[in-house]
Amino acid sequence: MLAINEIFIIIYKIIQQHSEINMGGNSLIIIIVIIAIAGIFLLPRMLKKKRAEKAKALISQRHDKDEVWKTIKQYLKDTNQYGVEIVDTYVIRRNPVEYINPLDSSYVKDKVRAANALREFQFKQELLKAKKLGKNARFMRPKQRDLYVVLFQTKNIKTNELLPPQAIECEVVTKKINRKEWDRKILINGKLNYDNEMIWIAPARALELQHNAKNIAATEAKQKKIIAKAQKKKEKELAKKKAKEAKQKAIEKN
């Protein structure tokens, strides 16, 4: 089977040849036929690619979920938390803190306004750190790291009692093995103060839930529309069938 770019090159050459010959109305028909043939070649490829991407996304989601559970289980083991079961998890990326000048409050405000409002808590925390360093000091994170905050809750297996939710910070570290392969590890940096982290995570999660609710509502509306269309088509076909049968009966009667 020809590659997509090769098909387009062939189509372009044929169109160019027919344009030079100037075949009038016939050339337009030929061009339409060529485009239709190209569509027959391209459409299966596009659909196959779309299905492959969807399958890859689902596999990636399952893999990410497994990684989160394994990481939490490792943390529970490291901190001697036995006899518990994980009942809920939530992971959010910790955005890198921007370059902050403690002497210029407008700079910080502009940064907070320009960035997502959910990051305001992080900016304030880092600004306090910068002020402690001195009036003329500037705070800047030495290296951007791939950090995540993992929230989770467990329950006692014997009593089914829900235990207080916990928060830990994890870091994804990648190391190049060779030209094509990378080694990926998840490091547990330690325990976090759950209440402090929820100051900026709570609104982020609320927005995410709101966005998901909108997507679910849109999907449901689309599905209802498809079902209604299919039902209308079915009713139309049934009415047509009944009319045909009635006509046939009338002919036989006469």
Task: Give residue-wise pLDDT tens across range 139-187.
Answer: 444 456 788 999 999 999 999 999 999 999 998 888 777 777 777 888 8
174 strand-pairing partners:
184
How far apart, in Å, are the Cα atoms of 73 and each of 64, 152, 153? Answer: 14, 11, 12
Beta strands of the chain (E only): which ranges? 84-93, 147-156, 166-176, 182-192
CA dihedral 221, 222, 223, 225 (to 10 degrees): 90
What are residue 27's phi and psi, to 5 degrees? -65, -35
pLDDT digits (tens, 9 = 90+) for 77-101: 999 999 999 999 999 888 655 444 4
Is residue 99 within 8 Å of residue 138, measured between CB atoms? yes
Over range 114-135, report the average pLDDT. Answer: 61
Query: From CA 236, how far away is CA 32, in angstroms rounded?
Result: 33
What is the reported pLDDT for 191?
A: 92
Would you put residue 22 in left (φ > 0), alpha (ψ -120 to 50) or beta?
left
Pairing of strands 84-93, 182-192: unpaired
Length of the chain: 254
